[in-house]
Structure 1
């Protein structure tokens, strides 16, 4: 912990209500995420590596419309300049008009749901790759292991245990056996290294239209529709990025809105009228407590790749 850095402070006041904890919740990769912490006073602490350098930042909710940010490190001014985008100040949903009663009620109850964007592609892409085709418990454990091993200490007065996410240069150099120790199979580790090798090009997709951004993401072997959507949701704040191919999502949408499971094709067809706000609909189901998926049979086994 380095507490001697100068703090950069800024405040965002939005026209519409916002909730910083709700907006940033999708950025947390499990309860022990070294890059994300919520402290007892309600503050959200996060770390990032901006184009200008590393940053630790602390977000606090002042009132229903205002958020205060304190940031430390070389990337603090850049982070502060993008604070509005991060907390979803510019997220507009005036044309979101669901007709299902559950979504109508959720939209009414949660007008402060804002879909923010980090503008940091690799920081969303690596954990998304780690979460491909494995149990969330295993993916979060791998993320913790790798960040602790290869992430640098967080600048400023960060809570104990916080680390910076590794940079592209670091990800490129992670030995294969270290991925193995983190229970990451060769397919996912190769995809991470490939993405890190072209990180400069990938970071530029934040300025592209959604379709072109997704095309560039999916041009990398190992990055498919699901992974691109997960990145678009977090790095680009795309309100329509639907995670097609998710193990639970289609069934959850079906059970929650129709009382029966759907497959991916059925989910895409059913949610088509909600474009360009399909991800917003999913998030409303989640935050409102209406996301339902009955459990049948035993829990999915956590596969251990590290022993062989």
Structure 2
């Protein structure tokens, strides 16, 4: 029947997925001078999905590696800040030039932190102490949408484990320099939309992903191109576009667009902890709900996501008074 979707349950042969690492001795290079202070760790950290994220590495020397799937194909980006403030970047793979062309955008060139006007002492203090905070913009929706769906209503450890297992099993080794040090990072590029659609139900189960989240991902990857179009939309239109997919609500859409679009006003609603953190920081109300949080953030309209980032960076969070959410072992069910 026309328009009917028949789920693919045929497993993708792992020997096709775990190809030898794409090692390339040559790299493309670029340097860029940011318009103001820039802290690479603060800017890039939202891309990291857990300490063992196979698409991201942060090294002690201040070098950051990112493996992703660009419109031009897989690519790996390495960035580091020089002492003179310039950003030095190198990239490998079919997506290398795209990554270098997008480097300023990724690192917040289009962001306007100077336009932010703190209305609370805590926010003002953190804003002053973190001058290098800029809101990144990847221009890539699916790479943030899929892990955000995995994070719905589970602990972060559960979501990070699922992302790690699925990317390592069904993604491809990232292109990069031909040396043992890079190989040791084990970087992978996430699967393309077709491969996500072919992951069988038992592999989702093995990764601890329930049928509701896996079905949402399958619906999204079927219209991946339409989802990617949201990266060039204004925030209201982008939020509406993502939420056309059943299973994607305001929480998931905001978490995605904060990264893909650098959306300074994409405040996360529906979060278990964030309203209490914002309420405690701005009004001493650890029991604040979404409505109370939005009322407190109203003076920051247009910059509400930046305000919440600064509140989280302040470390001024309410003392824990209840047990952490108990992880569910879906793979054993």
Place the TM-score, normalised by the shorter chain, in its bin.
over 0.9
Is 1:136 the equivalent of 2:156? yes
Contact 1:241–1:279, Cα closer than 8 Å, also in 2:
yes
Partner of 1:236: 261
Alignment match of 1:268 (pick from 294, 299, 302): 294
Correspondence 1:164-243 to 2 at 5 A: 164-243=189-268
Q: What does residue range 117-136 of structure 1 map to in structure 2 within 5 Å?
A: 117-136=137-156
Matched, 1:106 2:131: no
**Structure 2 residue aligned with 1:147, among 167, 172, 183?**
167
Moved more, 55-64 or 137-146: 55-64
1:68 to 67, 88, 91: 88
1:258-297 map, 5 Å: 258-261=283-286, 262-290=288-316, 292-297=317-322
C-alpha distance in 2 between matches for 1:246 and 1:131: 11
**Residues 120-171 of structure 1: per-residue CA shift (max 9 Å, x gap):** 1000000000000001110000110101110101111344221111111111
- Contact 1:19/1:64 (CA < 8 Å) preserved in 2? no
- Looking at structure 2, the residues matched to 159 and 25 of structure 1 have their Cα atoms a distance apart, in angstroms, of 22
Aligned to 2:57: 37
Is the 2:139–2:232 contact (alpha carbons within 8 Å) kept by the matching residues of 1?
no
Aligned counterparts of 1:15 and 1:40: Cα–Cα separation in 2 = 25
Contact 1:58–1:70 at 8 Å: present in 2 too? yes
* SS of 1:59 mapped into structure 2: strand
> Runs of at least 4 residues of structure 1 off by over 6 A?
none
- What is the aligned partner in structure 2 of residue 6 from structure 1? 26
Asked if the contact 2:235/2:266 (under 8 Å) is kept, the reply is: no
- For 1:96, which of 95, 109, 116 is the aligned residue? 116
Alpha-carbon distance between aligned partners in 2 of 1:93 and 1:163, rounded to the nearest angstrom: 32
Unaligned runs of 5+ in 1: none
Structure 1 length-normalised TM? 0.97
Structure 2 distance, partners of 1:152, 1:191, is 23
CA RMSD of aligned residues (A): 1.3
Q: Distance in 2 between matches of 1:109 and 1:32?
A: 29
Q: Quick check: 251-260 or 109-118, which moved more?
A: 251-260
CA distance in 2, matches of 1:64, 1:112: 15
Q: Deviations over 1:249-306 (max 9, x none)?
A: 001111122222211110011101101111101111223333x032112221001111
Asked if the contact 1:18/1:66 (under 8 Å) is kept, the reply is no
How far apart in 2 are the matches of 1:115 and 1:64?
22
- Quick one: distance in 2 between partners of 1:153 and 1:115? 28
Tell me how far apart the structure 2 counterparts of residues 166 and 59 of structure 1 sit (CA, whole Å). Answer: 23
Structure 2: gaps (5+ residues): 1-20
